[in-house]
Structure 1
Amino acid sequence: MTKTDLRKELLLLLLFVAPLIYMGVIWRNIPDVFGQAVEPVQQQIKTKEDFLLLMIFVFFTNALMYFLFRYLPRTDDESVSDPELMHREYYKVRFVIQIFLSAIAFIVLFMVQTSHTYAMERWAFIGIGLLITGVGLYLKGLKPNNYVGVRTPWTLRDPEIWKKTHMMASSLWTAVGIVLIAGAFFMSLITGVFVIFVASFILPILPYIYSFRLANEDKG
C-alpha cells in the first residue's frame, strides 16, 4: 500500500484547514454588501453570500485534490524499483498542489479583508485552471508507479495502457484547465462553480473508463 508519512500528512492537513481558520477569524469583519466601485458586469461578488459561494467552490476544489491524491486506488510497492524515491515524489506533488490551492484561498480572503474585491472570482477561476493545466502537463510524461497518476488495475498491469491512458488524461486535464482559464473572463460565478463540479467528476472518471476500454478492446 502507499505509505503514509504521519508528519507530512498532518502538514498537508494544516495547509488544507489554514484558509478555513483564517476565514473564520475575519468572517465577522466581512461586510454584508461589497462596495460597487466597478461596473456590475465586472464585479459579480456583491454580497457576503456570493463570497461564501465562491469560497465553497475554492474549498471544494481543495478537498477534491486532497482526497484524489490521498485515497484513490493504492497498491502494493512490489513493482516499484525505488519505492523511497517514488514516496518522496508522491508527497512533493501533493505539497505543491496543496500550497497552490491554499495560496489561492488566502489571496481571495486577503482581497476581501482589505476591501480589494475587484473580480476576485475571476482570479480564483484562473488559479484553479492553472493548477488543472499544470497537473495535465505533469501527467503526460509520468512513468508507471504506484503513487501518482491514473493508477487502475489495467494501467498498473500494462505499461502500454499506462502510457496511452496518461496521454489521454493529460489532454483532458489540460483542455479543462485551459477552458476554465479562458472562461474566467466571461463566466458568471454560478456557471464557473457548475463547471468545476462537472469537471471534478469527469477528470478522474473518464481516464479510468478509458483504461478499462483499452484493456478490454480485444474482447469487443
Structure 2
Amino acid sequence: MKGKGWILVILSLLPLLMVLAVYPELPALVPMHWEINGVSAEYGEKWMLLPLGGMSVLMTALLWAVPKIDPRKENYRRFERAYFSICVVLNVFFMAVMAIVLAESLSPGRISVPRAAGALCGLLFLFIGNLMPKIKSNFSTGFKTPWALSSEEVWNKTQRLGGRLFVLGGLVLLAGCFFVEEKALFAALPGILFVILLLPTVMSWRWYRQEQEEKRE
C-alpha cells in the first residue's frame, strides 16, 4: 500500500471531522442505539461521538499494522490491491454509519435507520464478497478456519464460497430494503450473517477431510 497511505489517512479522519463540523448544532443528548423497529432506545451525551468518530483512525492503524506482523506477511503482496480495497471500503462504511448517526441526531426520524443500515450492510457484503476470492492465505483476513490455513486449495475454495455467499446476502439485504418491513429487515441481518459464516466453515472442514483421504489412497 506504499504511496496510497494518504488515502486511508484522509478517509479515517473524515468521521471525526464530520462530528466536529456539526458539533455546535448537536443536541446535548444524541441517539446511540436503535431498537428493531428503528426507534432510538438509548441516548448519550454528544461528546461520546468524538471517540466514536476516532475509532476509524484506530481501525485503520490496525489494518496497516496487521500485514507487518502476520506470520504469512509475504502473501499480502499477492492480494495487495484487494487488501487496500477492503481498507477503503471499511472506512467508507464507517463514515456512512457516522452520517446516519449525525442525521438522526440533527433531524430525528428523517430517515429509516433499519433500511439505511440494511442498505449499507448489503453494499458492504457485495464489495467484500467480490474481493474475497482474491485473498490469499493469511491469519487476519478472510475465512481463517484451521482447515483452510492448512491447505492452499481448501483456502481458495473456502474464500470463493464465502465470497458468493456474501454477494448473495448483500443482494438479499438490498432487495429487503424495498420489499420487507423494517422489523423483519433488522431481524434478518443476524440470520443472514450466521449462514454466511457457517457454511464456509463447515465446507472448509469437509474439503480438508476429502483432501486428506485422497492423499492416503
TM-score, normalising length from structure 1?
0.60
The answer to which structure has the higher strand fraction is: 2
Aligned to 1:109: 101
Aligned to 1:149: 142
Aligned to 2:71: 76
For residues 107 and 200 of structure 1, what CA distance do their matches in structure 2 show?
Answer: 23
Q: Across the two proteins, how many residue pairs are aligned to each other?
A: 180
Q: Within 5 A, what are the aligned runs for 1:85-104?
A: 85=77, 92-93=84-85, 95-104=87-96
- Compute the displacement of 1:186 (Å): 2.5
The answer to which structure has the higher helix fraction is: 2
- Compute the displacement of 1:99 (Å): 1.4
Q: Within 5 A, what are the aligned runs for 1:1-220?
A: 26=26, 28=28, 45=38, 47-49=39-41, 76-77=71-72, 80=74, 85=77, 92-93=84-85, 95-112=87-104, 113-114=106-107, 117-140=110-133, 142-146=134-138, 147-217=140-210
Cα deviation code 1:31-56 (max 9, x no counterpart): 9xxxxxxxxxxxx75x533999xxxx
* AA at the equivalent of 1:152: T
For residues 179 and 129 of structure 1, what CA distance do their matches in structure 2 show?
Answer: 8
- Compute the displacement of 1:88 (Å): 6.6
Cα deviation code 1:83-107 (max 9, x no counterpart): 5x47976873553243122222222
- Compute the displacement of 1:187 (Å): 2.3
Please say if residues 137 and 152 of structure 2, whose CA atoms lie closer than 8 Å, have aligned partners that are also in contact: no
> Percent of aligned pairs with the same residue?
19
TM-score, normalising length from structure 2?
0.61
- Compute the displacement of 1:122 (Å): 2.0
- Aligned residue for 1:185, secondary structure, equals helix
Change (3 A) 1:197 1:108: same
Which runs of no fewer than 5 residues in structure 1 stay unpaired?
A: 1-10, 32-43, 53-58
For residues 146 and 103 of structure 2, what CA distance do their matches in structure 1 show?
Answer: 45
Change (3 A) 1:152 1:118: closer
Cα deviation code 1:4-53 (max 9, x no counterpart): xxxxxxx8xx87x959x88xx7464669xxxxxxxxxxxx75x533999x
Change (3 A) 1:143 1:125: closer
Change (3 A) 1:90 1:133: closer
